[in-house]
Amino acid sequence: MEAIQISDDFIKLGQALKLAGLVSSGVEAKIVIQNGEVKVNGETDTRRGRKLYPQDTFEFNGQTVMVVGE
């Protein structure tokens, strides 16, 4: 499992996908999220603005990433 570190209280799902290097742009993030290809904490989520907090996980394209705080 990979991890991304955030310095704020939360990160939005679209931004997290880009930070983890799973998508190359915000447009790509929007498309894969709206298509139901991303799971947050094991459940499909179609909201690009979904807030992720430390200890949350998201999955896309067979990769799982955990959000870690400072």
Contacts of 68 (CB under 8 A, 6+ apart): 3, 4, 5, 6, 54, 55
Tokens encoding 44? 């499909």
Query: Residue 70: its pLDDT value, please?
Result: 86
Query: Residue 31: its pLDDT value, please?
Result: 97
What topology is assigned to 2-68 in CATH? 3.10.290
Q: What is the pLDDT along the chain (70 residues), one digit of tens a residue?
A: 899 999 999 999 999 999 999 999 999 999 999 999 999 999 999 998 999 999 999 999 999 999 999 8
Distance in angstroms (rounded) separating the CA atoms of residues 49 and 43: 15
pTM score of the predicted model: 0.93
